[in-house]
Amino acid sequence: MNAAPDPADAGGLKRRLGVFDAVVIGLGSMLGAGIFAAPGPAAGAAGSALLPALALAALVAYCNATSSARLAARYPASGGTYVYGRERLGDFWGYLAGWGFVVGKTASCAAMALTVGTYAWPGQAHAVAVAAVVALTAVNYAGVQKSARLTRAIVAVVLAVLAAVVTACLTGGTAEAGRLHIGADAGAGGMLQAAGLLFFAFAGYARIATLGEEVREPARTIPRAIPLALGITLVVYAAVTAAALSVLGPGRLAEATAPLAEAVRLSGAPALVPVVRAGAAVAALGSLLALILGVSRTTLAMARDRHLPHALAAVHPRFGVPHRAELAVGAVVAVLAATVDVRDAIGFSSFAVLAYYAVANAAAWTLTLEEGRPPRPVPVIGLTGCAALAFALPVTSVAAGAAVLATGAAAYGLRKLVSRA
pLDDT tens by residue, 65-112: 899 889 988 887 777 899 999 999 999 999 999 999 898 888 888 888
* Residue-level pLDDT at 57: 92
Q: What is the mean pLDDT of residues 241-265?
A: 87
DSSP state of 320: -
* Residue-level pLDDT at 212: 62
> Residue 33 — pLDDT band, cuts 50, 70, 90?
low
* Residue-level pLDDT at 110: 85
- 43-52, 162-171, 216-225, 347-356: which has the minimum mean pLDDT? 216-225
* Residue-level pLDDT at 335: 92
pLDDT > 70? residue 344: no
* Residue-level pLDDT at 90: 96
Q: Which residue has the higher pLDDT, 223 or 408?
A: 408
* Residue-level pLDDT at 316: 87
Q: What is the pTM of this model?
A: 0.79
* Residue-level pLDDT at 13: 62
> Residue 10 — pLDDT band, cuts 50, 70, 90?
very low
Q: What is the mean pLDDT of residues 313-340?
A: 89
* Residue-level pLDDT at 122: 77
* Residue-level pLDDT at 186: 64
* Residue-level pLDDT at 359: 97
pLDDT > 90? residue 175: no
pLDDT > 90? residue 63: yes
pLDDT > 60? residue 263: yes
Residue type, 374: P
On whether the CB atoms of residues 109 and 295 are closer than 8 A, the answer is: yes
The Cα 421–Cα 406 span in angstroms is 23
* Residue-level pLDDT at 88: 96
The Cα 110–Cα 22 span in angstroms is 24
Q: What is the mean pLDDT of residues 207-229?
A: 75
> Residue 178 — pLDDT band, cuts 50, 70, 90?
very low
* Residue-level pLDDT at 376: 94
- 366: CB partners within 8 A, 6+ apart: 88, 89
pLDDT > 90? residue 227: no
Proportion of the chain above pLDDT 90, given as a percent? 36
- 57-66, 137-146, 258-267, 395-404: which has the minimum mean pLDDT? 137-146
> Residue 11 — pLDDT band, cuts 50, 70, 90?
very low
Query: Which domains does the chain show, CATH number per domain?
Result: 14-416 (1.20.1740.10)
The Cα 77–Cα 75 span in angstroms is 6
Q: What is the mean pLDDT of residues 320-334?
A: 91
Nearest to 292 by CA among 262, 257, 333: 333
* Residue-level pLDDT at 345: 66
Nearest to 323 by CA among 111, 195, 137, 87: 137
Nearest to 69 by CA among 188, 212, 245: 212
* Residue-level pLDDT at 176: 45
> Residue 349 — pLDDT band, cuts 50, 70, 90?
confident
The Cα 331–Cα 188 span in angstroms is 41
Nearest to 16 by CA among 216, 279, 269, 221: 216
Q: What is the mean pLDDT of the chain?
A: 84
Residue type, 307: H
How open is the CA angle 249-253-257, to the nearest 5 degrees?
160
* Residue-level pLDDT at 291: 81
Element spanning 229, H or E: helix 218-255
